[in-house]
Amino acid sequence: MLDLSKGKFTKEELINILDINEPEELQILFDTAQSIRRNMQGNKIFAYGFVYFTTFCRNNCNFCYYRKSNDIKRYRKTVEEILETSKTLIDSGVNLIDLTMGEDPEYHREEFDTVVAIIKTIKNQYETPVMISPGVVDNKIVDKLAEAGADWYALYQETHNRELFKKLRHGQDYDQRMNAKLYAKQRGMLIEEGLLAGVGESNEDIADSLMTMGEIGASQVRVMSFVPQEGSPMEKCKTPDRLEEMKIIALMRIMYPHALIPASLDVDGISGLKDRINAGANLITSIIPPKSGFMGVAQNTMDVDEGGRTVEEAKIILAEMGLRIASRDEYKAYISE
């Protein structure tokens, strides 16, 4: 019978677990992950507000809707709009604001001064933790973001197979992306690492990613199923079966009991929440206020204006599962453990 209790696996063992398809074995995998989550944090689930404040980008990632060459409507929100949306999210009960951007040349030109001011307001006036997802920035900018008080630097490698990376993040440097997050960690920020499922990776690649996440000391780890985007080179590629994402979530939970692991509403909307929590996720991400004009990434509009991506909606589903959203103080305590 499948023994997952040790929590440490060789690469071969990880590959074997990723190969599981027997219903009873899958149930053991998900039950083990869930019981670890409950042991760590009882009935609490964390929640992040998502503020995608500029959709301009200098890069051409093959999987992304916002890639430079895609002829789409873009926006760059004002400071007032960004702060207003952040405040709305905080008042609705999120634990953190994830300030996310395309690699917008305009912000690079002004060396992130506006972003620094926004981080300071959310931290000092709204007393709320901040994650910054700016793409790759140089060390000098990381210094500024850390000094402004950003708690987290999120930067997903997507894969730890260099050949596959080259195909996905065409024209970008693997080491530069990796080193940016290592430097942020060295500067005392918490870091999030992530991978994409369904982009041509093998189980061996996934096992490598799972191990690397631990080696680099990521405190938050994620997987998102690839969602095809109109107008992008991968438009015709299929979205993968969600079982793959669920297995990866469960394995991340078992390997890294204290990690924050997102159930992202950005893949299947609010209807995807329950399965991800049941696989061992402990954090709801991509909460976006309805009618705010802010977008998601993989699902740029799904459930947003309908009010589906809200703390309120999530609470209803969690209550049915005997779970609840954590308070901001509970979240702050958890990340300082």
The footprint of ligand SAM (CB under 6 A) covers: 63-64, 100, 102-103, 133, 135, 155-156, 158, 194, 196, 224, 226-227, 229, 297-298
Instruction: Tell me which of ligand SAM, ligand MD0, ligand SF4, none is bound by residue 229, counting a contact when its beta carbon lies within the kind-specific cut-off of 5 to 8 angstroms.
Output: ligand SAM
Question: Per-residue x/- mask for ligand SF4, residues 115 to 154, rule CB under 6 A?
Answer: --------------------x-------------------
Where does this chain touch ligand SF4 (CB under 6 A) — which range of 60-68, 197-205, 225-233, 237-245?
A: 60-68
Per CB under 6 A, 308 contacts ligand MD0: no
Residue 226 contact among ligand MD0, ligand SAM, ligand SF4, none, beta carbon within 5 to 8 Å by kind: ligand SAM
Residue 257, CA distances (Å) to 62, 214, 251 in order: 33, 11, 10
- Are 239 and 226 contacting, i.e. CB atoms less than 8 angstroms apart? yes
- Per the CB < 8 A criterion, the answer to whether 225 and 249 are in contact is no
Min dist. Cβ of residue 59 to ligand SF4 (A) = 4
DSSP 160-192: S-HHHHHHHTTT--HHHHHHHHHHHHHTT-EEE
CB of residue 298 vs ligand MD0: minimum separation in angstroms? Answer: 7
Cβ nearer to ligand SF4, comparing 98 with 103: 103
Q: Which of residues 112-141 bind ligand MD0 (CB under 6 A)?
A: 133
Closer to ligand SF4 by CB, 177 or 242: give it: 177
Contacts of 221 (CB under 8 A, 6+ apart): 192, 193, 194, 213, 252, 256, 259, 260, 261
Q: What backbone torsions phi and psi does residue 92 show, to the nearest 5 degrees? A: -80, -10
Residue from 17, 47, 99, 102 touching ligand SF4 (CB under 6 A): that is 102
Question: Is position 57 an interface residue for ligand SF4 (rule: CB under 6 A)?
Answer: yes
User: Which residues have CB under 8 Å from 294's CB, separation 6+?
Assistant: 50, 51, 52, 53, 77, 85, 288, 304
Q: How far is the CB of 28 from ligand MD0 (least distance, A)?
A: 28
- Chain position whose Cβ is nearest to ligand SAM: 298
When CB distances are held under 5 to 8 angstroms depending on the partner's kind, the choice from ligand SF4, ligand SAM, ligand MD0, none that residue 296 binds is ligand MD0
**# chain residues binding ligand SF4, by CB under 6 A:** 9
Residue 272 has, within 13 A of its CA and on its CB side, a CA count of 24
Tell me the two tokens of residue 135: 């793409």
Which ranges of the chain does DSSP label H, i.e. alpha helix?
11-18, 23-41, 79-92, 105-109, 113-120, 139-148, 162-168, 174-186, 203-215, 242-255, 265-268, 273-278, 311-320, 328-335
67 binds, among ligand SF4, ligand MD0, ligand SAM, none (CB under 5 to 8 A by kind): ligand SF4
What are the two backbone dihedrals, phi and then psi, of residue 41, each rounded to the nearest 5 degrees? -145, 20
Q: Which is nearer to ligand SAM, 100 or 219 (CB)?
A: 100
Does 264 participate in binding ligand MD0 (rule CB under 6 A)? yes
Of 214, 288, 225, 290, the residue nearest 257 (C-alpha): 214
Should residue 262 be labelled a site residue for ligand MD0 when binding is judged by CB under 6 A? yes
Helix (H, G, I), strand (E, B) or coil at 8: coil
Distances (CA, A) of 109 to 54, 105, 201: 14, 6, 35
- Give dist(CA 207, CA 17) in Å, integer: 10
Residue 157 touching ligand MD0 (CB under 6 A)? no
Among 18, 36, 61, 141, binds ligand SF4 (CB under 6 A): 61
Binding stretches for ligand MD0 (CB under 6 A): 50, 98, 100, 133, 154, 262, 264, 266, 285-286, 296-297
Binding stretches for ligand SF4 (CB under 6 A): 57, 59, 61, 64, 66-67, 102-103, 135
